[in-house]
């Protein structure tokens, strides 16, 4: 690290759990962020300010006036611009040392197969089940931990899905909790609404979990689903287990070896 980085990240360096070695791991890391909206905004901003050296932000959508109630990476002057490009501009103004690749596309299987072998963590900040399942399948296939968040109305949830073998065994994947064949009701902010700070709370937790994974500190949320009711500001926790017959990470699933 140069003198400017030592000063910029000094508050991290003072933490025994991170220090110079942990910060060096962050600077060398590559994180992929799926979605540059309500969740992706705080995720991208915090990963960039914390010093994650490479970020790839994927979002096919453009900034709309209705987004500005909660999507803090964007501003009025960028209405109509691609969200991924807007995030890149915001991050460049805060930490120009971060290498950020903005991809204005949908996160499909082919794109994920191209990108994931280069990454150490993926953060799913999307807003639909099709994308979430595609991202989860790619993370299982390539052995990359997935930090997943969701928020609608006053309700949010966040977890880490990591099916890589570990000392405590492989954790469940997203499909263990939400099987891809099940018919879950798709809801959207445009029809249901969303409490503005909720996406900030969930997105910030996602960023924290990703930083912990990259720096090798703390205990990740693997195998635990945190659920927030922002009306009462109460958190509930659900223990998750790997499903042996999961079509994505189960023993007979294609691509799992």
Catalytic residue positions, numbered: 189
Q: Is 169 left (phi over 0), alpha (psi -120 to 50) or beta?
A: left
Query: How crowded is residue 182: how many other Cβ atoms within 10 Å of its Cβ?
Result: 8
* Residue 13 neighbours by CB under 8 Å, 6+ apart: 6, 19, 20, 23
User: What is the distance between the alpha carbons of residues 27 and 22, in angstroms, rounded to a whole number?
Assistant: 9
Three-state DSSP at 45 gives helix
- The percent helix, strand, coil of the chain (3-state, each to 5) is 40, 20, 40
- The structure tokens 């990240």 sit at 9
Separation of CA 206 from chain center: 6
Q: Which residues pair with 31 in a beta bridge?
A: 55, 121
Partner residues linked to 149 by β-bridges: 158
């Amino acid at each position: 690290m140069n003198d400017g980085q030592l000063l910029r990240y000094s508050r991290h360096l003072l933490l025994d759990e991170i220090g110079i070695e942990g910060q060096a791991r962050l600077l060398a890391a590559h994180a992929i962020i799926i979605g540059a909206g309500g969740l992706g905004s705080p995720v991208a901003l915090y990963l960039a300010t914390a010093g994650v050296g490479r970020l790839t932000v994927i979002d096919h959508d453009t900034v709309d006036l209705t987004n500005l109630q909660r999507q803090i990476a964007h501003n009025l002057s960028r209405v109509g611009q691609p969200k991924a490009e807007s995030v890149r501009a915001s991050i460049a103004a805060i930490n120009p040392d971060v290498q950020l690749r903005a991809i204005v596309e949908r996160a499909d299987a082919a794109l994920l197969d191209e990108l994931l072998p280069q990454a150490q963590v993926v953060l799913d900040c999307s807003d639909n089940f099709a994308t979430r399942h595609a991202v989860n399948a790619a993370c299982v296939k390539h052995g990359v931990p997935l930090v997943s968040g969701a928020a609608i109305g006053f309700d949010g949830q966040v977890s880490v899905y990591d099916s890589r073998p570990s000392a405590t065994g492989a954790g469940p994947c997203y499909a263990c909790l939400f099987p891809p064949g099940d018919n879950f009701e798709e809801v959207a902010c445009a029809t249901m609404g969303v409490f503005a700070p909720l996406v900030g709370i969930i997105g910030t937790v996602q960023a924290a979990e990703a930083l912990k994974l990259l720096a090798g500190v703390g205990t990740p949320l693997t195998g635990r689903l945190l659920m927030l009711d922002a009306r009462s500001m109460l958190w509930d926790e659900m223990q998750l287990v790997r499903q042996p017959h999961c079509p994505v990470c189960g023993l007979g699933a294609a691509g799992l070896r």
